[in-house]
Amino acid sequence: MISGKPIVGITMGDAAGIGPEIIAMALSFPEVHQLCRPLVIGDAATIRDALKTMTTEIKVEEIKRVDNAKFNQGVIEVLDLHNIDPRVLLKGRVVPMLGKAAFEYLQRATDLALSGKIQAIVTAPLNKESLNKAGYHYSGHTEILAELCGGKEVCMMLIA
């Protein structure tokens, strides 16, 4: 970590849910950049759409690798996995493709954390029904992370 601040991978969760709006709003606060270097793992177009509901000058930049991130204030950098079709993105609906995408965001974040490229993971909500209909039979993030990390005993911590 060159800057001394951790790189925090923020998984977008279900693109049809509240995750993209929560992320857009949270990353509009300058305090976030004072504490860490945020990197969204998700879909850049969905984050851009979420910003349309806000009065902000924040820009979205798609990056291909963590090494390409600049972590500038006023820019949301998205490691875009290009795994959703915007034509089927229906807000508030159960869409298996979006469940698969949410799983893949968490999987990529976990790989990045385990390899030391990011220092923490923050997760936006996923739709468990979409996740299950996509063939991923987990009750939530905790169980997915446990399996991806090879954990035997796990627990969840919520901070507000």
Give pLDDT tens digits for 36-64. 999 999 999 999 999 998 888 899 999 99
Q: Which fold has domain 7-149?
A: Isopropylmalate Dehydrogenase (3.40.718)
By residue count, the chain amounts to 160
Nearest to 106 by CA among 30, 34, 10, 27: 10
Query: Quick check: 70 and 86 in contact, CB under 8 A?
Result: no
Q: Residue 3, exposed/middle/buried by CB under 10 A (0-12, 13-18, 19+)?
A: exposed
**Distance, CA of 61 to CA of 80 (rounded, Å):** 9
Going by pLDDT thresholds of 50, 70 and 90, the confidence category of residue 159 is: confident
* DSSP element (H, E) containing 120: strand 120-123
